[in-house]
Amino acid sequence: MGIENMKMPQLGESVTEGTISKWLVSPGDTVNKYDPIAEVQTDKVNAEVPSSFTGTIKELIAEEGDTLEVGEIICSIEIEGGASAPAEEAPKEEPKKSAEAPAAPKSKAPAKDSGNKARYSPAVLKLSQEHDIDLDQVEGTGNGGRITRKDLKKIIESGSIPKAGDAPAPKAEASAPQQAPVKETAPAQPANQAAPAANIPVVPGDIEIPVSGIRKAIASNMVRSKHEAPHAWTMMEVDVTNLVDYRNSLKTEFKQREGFNLTFFAFFVKAVAQALKEYPQINSMWAGDKIVQKKDINLSIAVATDDALYVPVIKNADEKTIKGIAREITELAGKVRSGKLTSQDMQGGTFTVNNTGSFGSVQSMGIINYPQAAILQVESIVKRPVVMNNGMIAVRDMVNLCMSLDHRVLDGLVCGRFLQRVKEILENTSKENTSVY
C-alpha cells in the first residue's frame, strides 16, 4: 500500500487558487480514478475535481471553506502498490528530534503540531497574519492536531492573541489557566486590525453572510478597475421601433423551429460586434506602456445568479449570425444557472455588453470589466412620445445605450462615433434589411 496526495488543480489559465465548497467523499471511502471527490469554487467557475488515483481516501487535509493555492495538497489517498515507508518514517523522525531537543519544552503544543506545520491551509495562514497570531502557540483541534479556522476564530473572539514574542503567555496559561482570557491589553490591537468588522455593529436580527470566493473575486476586480482605470461615461438613445416589430413578428415561429428564444439582446450583441469591427480601437486593452488592440472580437455578456455575477464570452461574435448569437446566449446562461460553466467559457473577452434592461433599468454606469477598455449597458426598451422629423409626435420604442470607457485608452470622439454606428445599425434593423440566419 502507498499514499498519494491529491493537489488543488489549476481550473483555468489565470486561476491561482480554489475554495473547497463541498467534499463529495469522506475518509475511508473507496474511489476510482476520475471519480469526483470535491466541488471547488474559483473566481471564474464551480467545478468538480476528479480523483487522480484509485484507492481509499485516507485524510481530507483541506476543510470545506478553505481556500488553497494551485498545487496545495487537498487530501491523501491510500493506493495499492508503491512505497509508503518514506511517508511513514518522516513523522517518526520528527518526534525523535523533538525528544532529543529538551531545549524546547516551552512548546509542547507546537511539538504536537510540528508534523503538520507544512499543512497549514492558506485560510489559516491568512487569518493568522491578519490578526498577528503566532501559530506556534496555538493548539489545534483538527486531525492530528492541525490548526483550523475555528481554532483561530475562537482565539480572536476571546481577545487573547498569542504573539510571536509572547513567550510568557503559554507559561501563564499552563500555570494559571484562568488568567489568559483576562488579558485586557491585547484586544485594542486586534480591533484595529479587523477594522471593517469592528466598525459595523451586529445587533440581534442582523444576518451575517460569509463572503464567497466568487463575491471576493468580483469585489477585487471591481475595485481594481475603478482604482486603475479613469472611467468616463456617455449615453445615446436609440429608436428601436422597427427592430421590436421585426423581432415580435419572428419570435413564435423562431422558438418552434429552433427550440430557443430569439431575444432582443441578440440583436444588440450583433450590432455591437459589427460596430467593433469598424471601430477596432474600442476592442483594446491597456497594458502599461502600450495599448493592445485585439484581433478577435470576443464579447463578454453578464449573467447574474441570486448571489453572483458571471461573465461568459461569445467568441468571434462578429462572425456569427443573430441566430447563432441567440443560441450562445441561451447556452451560456444555462451553464451559469446549472453550475456547468467552465473556465474556457470565461476566457478571452475583449468587450462587455451588459443587459441591464432585463430588470427594468433605463440608465446605469457600468464598471469596466478589467482589463477591457469599455463596457456597454443595454437598458430597458420603453415606449415614449417622440417628436419625429416632420414635427409630429409619435409613440416609439426607445432604448438608452450607456457606455463606460477607460479614458487612458479611449477618447469621447471615437466612442461617440462607435455608439452612433451601433445606433445606425439598430435603427435600420427590419424585415427588409436584416436576416437573423
**Mean pLDDT of each 10-residue bin along the chain, 437 residues long:** 88 76 91 90 78 92 87 90 44 41 40 45 72 82 72 80 59 38 39 48 89 78 92 97 97 97 98 98 94 97 84 96 97 90 89 95 95 97 95 97 97 97 98 95
Which contacts (CB < 8 Å, 24+ apart) does range 176-184 have?
183/159
Cα–Cα distances in Å, from 335 out to 306, 312, 338?
Answer: 15, 9, 5
Q: In 3-state terms, what secondary structure has residue 159?
A: coil
d(CA 364, CA 231): 13
Q: What is the pLDDT of residue 214?
A: 74
Q: How much is the pLDDT for 14?
A: 61
The answer to pTM > 0.85 is: no
CB 136 within 8 A of CB 106: no
Q: Are 54 and 31 in contact (CB under 8 A)?
A: yes
> CATH 2.40.50.100 residue ranges in the chain?
2-82
Give the pLDDT of residue 219: 84
Nearest alpha-carbon partner for 180 in 129, 138, 126, 146: 138
Q: What is the Cα–Cα distance from 430 to 397, expressed in whole angstroms? A: 14
What the block records as the C-alpha cell of 436 is: 437573423
Cβ neighbours, 10 Å, residue 3? 18
pLDDT of residue 212: 74
**What pLDDT, on the 0 to 100 scale, is given for residue 28?**
92
Residues known to be catalytic:
407, 411
CATH code for the domain defined by 215-427: 3.30.559.10
Residue 318: how many other CB atoms lie within 10 Å: 18
Q: Rounded distance, CA 361 to CA 382, Å?
A: 10
**pLDDT attached to residue 199:** 75
Q: Which CATH number does 2-82 carry?
A: 2.40.50.100
Q: What is the pLDDT of residue 167?
A: 53
- Residue intervals in the chain for CATH 3.30.559.10: 215-427
Q: Is omega for the bond preceding 312 within 30 degrees of 0, making it cis?
A: no
The grid coordinates listed for 207 are 444576518
Reading the block at residue 188, the C-alpha cell is 485594542
